[in-house]
Amino acid sequence: MKQQTPIRKVSLKRQAAIDAGTIPKYPVRQAIKKVSAKRAAILAENPNAFRKVPTKIREVKITDTDRAGLIKKLDSLFSKYIRNKYAVNGMVKCFTCPTVLPIARIQNGHFISRANMATRWLEENCRPQCPKCNGNHEVNTRPFENALIGEAYGSVEYLTDLSRRTTRISTSELIYLIEKYKT
């Protein structure tokens, strides 16, 4: 027995339209987006109302140059802070000698050298010093040490211990400290 091909039933009207080429032979399924009345009303007013705005997340890369800039800024703010902290009526006494100088001329002396990041911006490690004493500290740390001992027992050991720790100061720490010492 010969197998019969299934015949697709198409109305005469439809077949005529297909033959004329006004409609495609096979109906094209179109995805109909169902939109609620409320949504449609909003869309009528603003067609872009529901369009997702791509959020640009830009990665902020902090270069070494930026870090150097932050360190410089923090040094400057911190120095100003220390000099003001010990000022009396705009004048500051050197921590290691009787010299008294205006805030602008006194310096921020570090007991543990500024090269050490663990103590560079530590208030306990810093005192105002006249330029002469600050310069002299590079060759003789004794006067600063004696003055610290005179202030508080154990502070020299405390600062020395801290300085032995390897500290890598993060950029966020730098930013935080800049904010802290900003006046």
Question: Which chain residues interact with Zn ion by CB under 5 A?
Answer: 94, 97, 99, 130, 133
Nearer Cβ to Zn ion, position 135 or 154? 135
Question: Contacts by 147-151 with C-beta closer than 8 Å and gap 24+?
Answer: 147/95, 147/96, 148/111
Please state, in angstroms and as integers, the Cα–Cα distance from residue 94 to each residue in 77, 102, 108, 170, 173, following that order.
Answer: 19, 10, 10, 32, 29
Which two three-digit tokens encode residue 3?
């197998």
Angle between helix 64-85 and helix 171-181 axes, rounded to 10 deg: 30
Nearer Cβ to Zn ion, position 94 or 126? 94
Least gap, CB of 79 to Zn ion (angstroms): 16
Nearer Cβ to Zn ion, position 77 or 94? 94
Ramachandran angles phi, psi of 138, nearest 5° = -65, -30
Nearer Cβ to Zn ion, position 136 or 174? 136
Nearer Cβ to Zn ion, position 92 or 94? 94
Least gap, CB of 94 to Zn ion (angstroms): 3
Tokens 């869309």 -> residue: 43
Least gap, CB of 151 to Zn ion (angstroms): 16
Nearer Cβ to Zn ion, position 120 or 127? 127
Least gap, CB of 129 to Zn ion (angstroms): 6
Least gap, CB of 96 to Zn ion (angstroms): 5
Least gap, CB of 147 to Zn ion (angstroms): 10
How many C-alpha atoms does 83 have within 13 Å on its Cβ side?
21
The total of other beta-carbon atoms located within 10 Å of residue 9's CB is 7
Nearest to 78 by CA among 105, 132, 114, 102: 114
> How far apart are the C-alpha atoms of 90 and 47, rounded to whole Å?
64
